[in-house]
C-alpha cells in the first residue's frame, strides 16, 4: 500500500490531446493500483456538484476500461450512497475544481476527511485539479472568497500548492507574497503540469502540454525562489475510435460542406 497523490495545476476532460493525456495518466495510476479494471470515483463537491463537471468526467471514462462513478454530496437525498463503503472500494478518487473553502466545509459537514485520509493510507490514489489538488496540502491559494487568499487544506502532504500558475498572475503574486510572509513553501503548477507522490520522498513532475511547468517554490535568505522541476512529457493516447454512426454523421457533414450546401 503506497500512499499516492496526483496533483494537477489545471485540466479538463475534453478530447483535446493534453486532456486525453491527463485522463490516460489517471487511468494508468488507477489500473496499477487495481491490478485489473479499476474503480474511479469523482467528488465534484468543489463545484457544487455541477452536472457539467460530472458529465465531462463520465464522457472521459465511460468508454475506457474502468468503472467510473460519482458521489454528489448535494444530491444524497435523491441518490443515497454509503459514503465510507463506496469511497474505500475505489482505486482512484478524483476531486474536481471549484471553491476550496466550500469543498473543505462540505467535506467536514459530511465527515469525509477521515475517510479520505484512510483511503490515502490504504493506497487508493487521490487525484485532483485546482481546488481538488490544493486540498491535499497544508495550504493553497484560493479565490473562494473573491480575491486570491491563503487557505488551509487537509494537510496529507506537507507544504503548499498554487495552481493555474501560468495563467493567473494575481494568484501567483498572492502565493509568492504568502510564502515570503511565512506560509510554508511548496509548489506552483501551470495548467497541464502535475506532480505525483508515490510513497515518501519527493514527487515526480509530469506535463501534458509543451511549456507547462511545475515549480518548487521556497523561501530563501534572498527572497522567494521558483525553480522549475524537470518533468516527464505525457504523450496523448490515440483518440478513442468513434462510434460508427458518429463517424458516418461527420463524414456526411464534411461532404455537404464541401459541396457548398452549408455556409
Partner 1 sequence: METATRQIVAFGGGGFSMESGNPLLDEYVLGLARGERPRVCFMPSASGDADHYVVRFYRAFPAERCEPSHISLFRREQGPADLRAHLLAQDLIYVGGGSVVSLLGVWRAHGIDAILREAWESGVVLCGLSAGSLCWFAEAHSGFHGQPRRVEGLGFLPFSNSVHYERDSDHGLAYHAQLRGGMRAGYAAQDGAALHFTGSDLCRVVASRPAAKAYWLDPAPAGIAEVELKTTYLGEAPASSTETAAIAA
Can you give the binding site for partner 1, defined by CB under 8 A? 47-50, 73-78, 80-82, 98-99, 101-102, 104-110, 143-147
Select 42 or 208, whichever has its Cβ closest to partner 1. 42
Q: How far is the CB of 191 from partner 1 (least distance, A)?
A: 18
CA dihedral over 214, 218, 221, 222, signed as positive or negative: positive
Q: How far is the CB of 98 from partner 1 (least distance, A)?
A: 6
Report d(CA 173, CA 140) in Å as an integer.
13
Select 81 or 225, whichever has its Cβ closest to partner 1. 81
Q: How far is the CB of 24 from partner 1 (least distance, A)?
A: 29
Lookup: cell for 54: 460530472
Q: Are strands 125-129 and 4-8 parallel, antiparallel or unpaired?
A: parallel
Which residues are annotated as catalytic? Answer: 130, 164
Q: How far is the CB of 192 from partner 1 (least distance, A)?
A: 23
Select 32 or 113, whichever has its Cβ closest to partner 1. 113
Q: What angle do CA 169, 26, 136 make, to 5 degrees?
A: 55
Report d(CA 88, CA 122) in Å as an integer.
8
Select 21 or 150, whichever has its Cβ closest to partner 1. 150
Backbone angles phi, psi at 117, to 5 degrees: -65, -40
Q: Cα-atom radius of gyration of the chain, to the nearest Å?
A: 19
Amino acid at each position: 500500500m503506497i500512499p499516492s497523490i496526483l496533483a494537477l495545476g489545471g485540466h479538463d476532460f475534453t478530447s483535446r490531446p493534453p486532456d486525453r493525456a491527463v485522463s490516460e495518466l489517471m487511468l494508468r495510476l488507477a489500473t496499477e493500483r487495481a491490478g485489473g479494471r479499476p474503480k474511479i470515483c469523482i467528488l465534484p463537491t468543489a463545484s457544487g456538484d455541477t452536472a457539467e463537471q460530472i458529465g465531462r468526467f463520465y464522457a472521459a471514462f465511460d468508454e475506457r476500461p474502468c468503472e467510473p462513478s460519482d458521489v454528489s454530496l448535494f444530491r444524497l437525498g435523491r441518490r443515497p450512497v454509503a459514503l465510507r463503503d463506496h469511497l474505500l472500494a475505489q482505486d482512484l478518487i478524483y476531486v474536481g475544481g471549484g471553491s476550496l473553502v466550500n469543498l473543505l466545509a462540505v467535506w467536514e459537514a459530511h465527515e469525509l476527511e477521515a475517510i479520505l485520509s484512510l483511503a490515502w493510507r490504504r493506497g487508493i490514489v487521490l487525484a485532483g485539479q485546482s481546488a481538488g489538488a490544493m486540498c491535499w496540502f497544508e495550504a493553497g491559494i484560493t479565490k473562494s472568497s473573491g480575491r486570491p487568499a491563503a487557505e488551509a487544506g487537509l494537510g496529507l502532504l506537507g507544504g503548499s500548492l498554487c495552481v493555474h500558475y501560468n495563467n493567473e498572475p494575481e494568484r501567483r503574486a498572492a502565493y509568492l507574497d504568502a510564502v515570503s510572509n511565512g506560509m510554508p513553501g511548496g509548489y506552483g503548477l501551470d495548467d497541464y503540469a502535475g506532480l505525483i507522490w508515490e510513497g515518501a520522498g519527493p514527487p515526480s513532475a509530469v506535463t501534458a502540454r509543451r511549456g507547462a511547468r511545475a515549480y518548487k517554490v521556497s523561501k530563501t535568505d534572498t527572497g522567494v525562489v521558483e525553480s522549475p522541476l524537470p518533468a516527464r512529457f505525457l504523450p496523448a493516447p490515440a483518440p478513442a475510435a468513434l462510434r460508427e454512426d458518429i463517424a458516418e454523421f461527420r463524414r456526411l457533414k464534411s461532404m455537404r460542406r464541401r459541396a457548398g450546401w452549408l455556409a
